[in-house]
């Protein structure tokens, strides 16, 4: 993936946290959807299946635009909220990154695919929105189990994030960008409260 696309997703995630005034974990995706006027529909209540790829029913979710309104449709038969949360964040990413013109390919994997730049970019956005590295670092969080619990995401997503965090810890790559520094300020009280427990 081109570094420019990586930066775009990462920086947008930080801007969204700031714009929506998100100050604690787990990140409130409902608040983000309200701020950007994105409507969410569970699969069990979706009635327009004839307009989407027939394989979409087997996926975790998808997004589309109709009459100037963005929608995220998510698979509510998945009994793990952490996975649903990542799907919602991923689809918010597609919308805010400008990927959604009519309909987006359905999501059915938590692992980045180098073959699909838009999918990888949406995964980076979701990862950095739900688990901002600068906040995890300030909390001195290292393990996937801690990340999954704190951020209310799946262990699979937390393992991917934990692996990346170790690289960032080794390089001490935190608070280098102005937007990242803004995020740490937003979470300041939350970090202080959690670090004194």
Interstrand relation of 69-74 and 61-66 (parallel, antiparallel or unpaired): antiparallel
**Cut 0.85: pTM above it:** yes
Q: Taking a C-beta distance cutoff of 8 angstroms, is the pair 26, 151 a contact?
A: yes
Pick from 36-45, 100-109, 128-137: least confident = 100-109
Mean pLDDT of all residues belonging to the chain = 91
Q: How far apart are CA 42 and CA 38, in angstroms?
A: 13
Q: What pLDDT does residue 182 have?
A: 96
Confidence check: pLDDT of 60 > 70: yes
CA distance 122 to 112: 9
The answer to whether residue 66 scores a pLDDT higher than 80 is: yes
Closest CA to 133 of 147, 119, 120, 122: 147
Q: Which of 7-11, 74-78, 104-108 has the lowest mean pLDDT?
A: 104-108
Tokens of 18: 């700031």
Lowest mean pLDDT among 17-26, 101-110, 129-138, 188-197: 101-110
Residue (of 69, 159, 86) closest to 126 by Cα position:
86
Residue % of the chain over a pLDDT of 90? 75
């Amino acid at each position: 993936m081109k570094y420019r696309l990586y930066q775009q997703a990462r920086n947008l995630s930080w801007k969204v946290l700031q714009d929506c005034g998100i100050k604690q974990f787990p990140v409130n995706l409902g608040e983000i959807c309200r701020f950007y006027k994105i409507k969410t529909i569970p699969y069990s209540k979706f009635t327009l299946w004839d307009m989407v790829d027939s394989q979409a029913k087997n996926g975790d979710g998808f997004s589309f635009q109709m009459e100037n309104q963005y929608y995220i449709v998510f698979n509510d038969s998945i009994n793990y909220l952490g996975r649903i949360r990542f799907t919602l964040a991923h689809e918010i990413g597609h919308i805010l990154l400008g990927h959604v013109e009519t309909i987006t390919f359905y999501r059915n994997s938590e692992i980045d695919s180098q073959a699909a730049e838009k999918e990888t970019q949406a995964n980076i956005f979701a990862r950095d929105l739900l688990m901002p590295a600068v906040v995890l670092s300030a909390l001195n969080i290292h393990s996937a189990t801690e990340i999954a619990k704190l951020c209310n995401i799946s262990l699979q997503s937390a393992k991917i994030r934990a692996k990346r965090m170790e690289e960032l810890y080794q390089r001490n790559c935190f608070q280098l960008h102005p937007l990242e520094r803004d995020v740490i300020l937003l979470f300041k009280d939350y970090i202080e409260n959690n670090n004194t427990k």
